[in-house]
Amino acid sequence: MAVITEINDLKRIYERRVPRMFYDYTESGSWTEQTFRENTSDFDQLRLRQRVAVDMTGRSTAGKMIGQDVTMPVALAPVGLTGMQHADGEIKAAKAAEEFGVPFTLSTMSICSIEAVAEKTTKPFWFQLYTMKDEDFVRRLIERAKAAKCSALVITLDLQILGQRHKDLKNGLSAPPKLTAKTIANLATKWTWGLQMLGTKNRGFGNIVGHVDGISDAADLGAWTAEQFDPALDWGKIAKIKEMWGGKVILKGILDAEDAKMALKVGADAIIVSNHGGRQLDGAMSSIKMLPSILDAVGDQIEVHLDSGIRSGQDVLKALAMGASGTYIGRAFVYGLGAMGQAGVTRALEVIHKELDVSMALCGKRVISELDQDVLLVPKDFSGDWR
């Protein structure tokens, strides 16, 4: 067994084990991928302040996200098609998160359904909602999430229309994969993945197939999805969905202070500063660079979380020190899942936890609540002088 010391180790194994179309689906951003790249490279511009002779005994990374206790403020982000990265992927990831003590967020576009994940887990998870034109379907989806005792609704706002990722079009991405000469040739080299997939019934979009009239196969579903995301979503509709849900609401995809103020107005419990991991508006700024202006606008009135670009515990530390009160990992846990299933997600969380803990200690901090900009060296022009 390979010695896994960093997230990149998991990524290398992931690339070997999972069919190319699903690796490419994860490892791409929209159009030129500028935002995708800068999400990670902008973290590198922030440097850490080494401090010494501070008693570092009794350290803890524990904290809270929307009032829930967490082992560290790092949730698993909603990732569509997770069950194509590894058989029963959503169940495996949810179990790893539950055991580790961090929140798991199930995507609307998951392979395993809300009910299937609820059946195999013991703690409430969060459900991510894509708003669809079919309001009745959205209502039923919300009822299903309630029935499954999901403890937060994460409403994604930055995907009313799909950003173009070139590789997905070239690969003919579908779930399950369509059997063309190219996919068959690639699948032949991924036999462990294939055998595991044969062992599960969860191979289509579990929240959708069987829950919408006229949808029985994946080909129909692809067309239906493209047609169904709601381009007319606005703050009024968000307020209605919040009321329908009646529980904690997190608004995901906020990248601008003005939108953060609107999120506050509709009464969200938290926002996620996010550009969807660079998969939507290419050319948008990285999340970490937009964080300061959003914190200035609403930081003292609402929980501000961040995702996009986090690949290490040091990135988590930087986001928290900049002022975020929670973070999410998308690709970092998918690498682990594709590489080694549930154990791989656990390993990804362990790696990030250790990096966070050791970095905190070397910065002279013992608990999450002590983290502030004191820990960082931020270049003067970090967020830039844009107009």
Cβ of residue 108: shortest distance to ligand FMN, in angstroms?
A: 6
CB-based contact 46:372 (threshold 8 Å): no
Cβ of residue 78: shortest distance to ligand FMN, in angstroms?
A: 4
Residue among 337, 310, 342 nearest 326 (CA): 310
Cβ of residue 90: shortest distance to ligand FMN, in angstroms?
A: 11
Q: Which residue sits closest to ligand FMN, CB atoms considered?
A: 330
Stretch that binds ligand FMN, among 161-169, 187-195, 330-338, 375-383 (CB under 6 A): 330-338
Stretch that binds ligand FMN, among 76-84, 144-152, 211-219, 317-325 (CB under 6 A): 76-84
Distance of alpha carbon 291 from alpha carbon 39, whole angstroms = 12
Stretch that binds ligand FMN, among 53-61, 62-70, 73-81, 198-206 (CB under 6 A): 73-81
Cβ of residue 30: shortest distance to ligand FMN, in angstroms?
A: 11
Active site residue 276: yes
Q: Applying CB under 6 A, does 310 fall inside the site for ligand FMN?
A: yes
Q: Applying CB under 6 A, does 26 fall inside the site for ligand FMN?
A: yes
Among 7, 21, 72, 77, binds ligand FMN (CB under 6 A): 77
| Token digits of residue 86 | 């590894």
Among 73, 80, 313, 344, binds ligand FMN (CB under 6 A): 80
Q: Applying CB under 6 A, does 163 fall inside the site for ligand FMN?
A: no
Residue 362: what residue type?
A: L
Q: Applying CB under 6 A, does 153 fall inside the site for ligand FMN?
A: no
Options 86, 166, 276, 353, the catalytic residue: 276
Query: To which residue do tokens 């390979």 refer?
Result: 2
Q: Compare residues 286 and 365 and give the one whose CB is closer to ligand FMN.
A: 286
Helices 331-362 and 7-17: crossing angle, nearest 10°? 170
Total residues contacting ligand FMN by CB under 6 A comes to 24
Q: Applying CB under 6 A, does 308 fall inside the site for ligand FMN?
A: yes
Cβ of residue 242: shortest distance to ligand FMN, in angstroms?
A: 17
Segment 121-150, which members bind ligand FMN (CB under 6 A)?
128
Among 4, 11, 17, 25, binds ligand FMN (CB under 6 A): 25
Stretch that binds ligand FMN, among 131-139, 141-149, 307-315, 360-368 (CB under 6 A): 307-315
Cα–Cα distance list, 87 to 113, 136, 193, 339 (Å): 13, 30, 7, 12
Encode burial over 326-351: b for 16+ CB neighbours within 10 A, e otherwise: bbbbbbbbbbbbbbbbbebbbbbbeb
Segment 185-244, which members bind ligand FMN (CB under 6 A)?
none
Segment 241-260, which members bind ligand FMN (CB under 6 A)?
252
Q: Applying CB under 6 A, does 318 fall inside the site for ligand FMN?
A: no
Cβ of residue 280: shortest distance to ligand FMN, in angstroms?
A: 9
Among 183, 274, 293, 312, binds ligand FMN (CB under 6 A): 274
Q: Applying CB under 6 A, does 329 fall inside the site for ligand FMN?
A: yes
**Phi, psi angles (nearest 5°) of residue 328:** -135, 145
Cβ of residue 56: shortest distance to ligand FMN, in angstroms?
A: 28
Footprint of ligand FMN on this chain (CB under 6 A)? 25-26, 39, 77-80, 107, 109, 128, 156, 252, 274, 276-277, 279, 307-310, 329-332
- Which residues are annotated as catalytic? 276
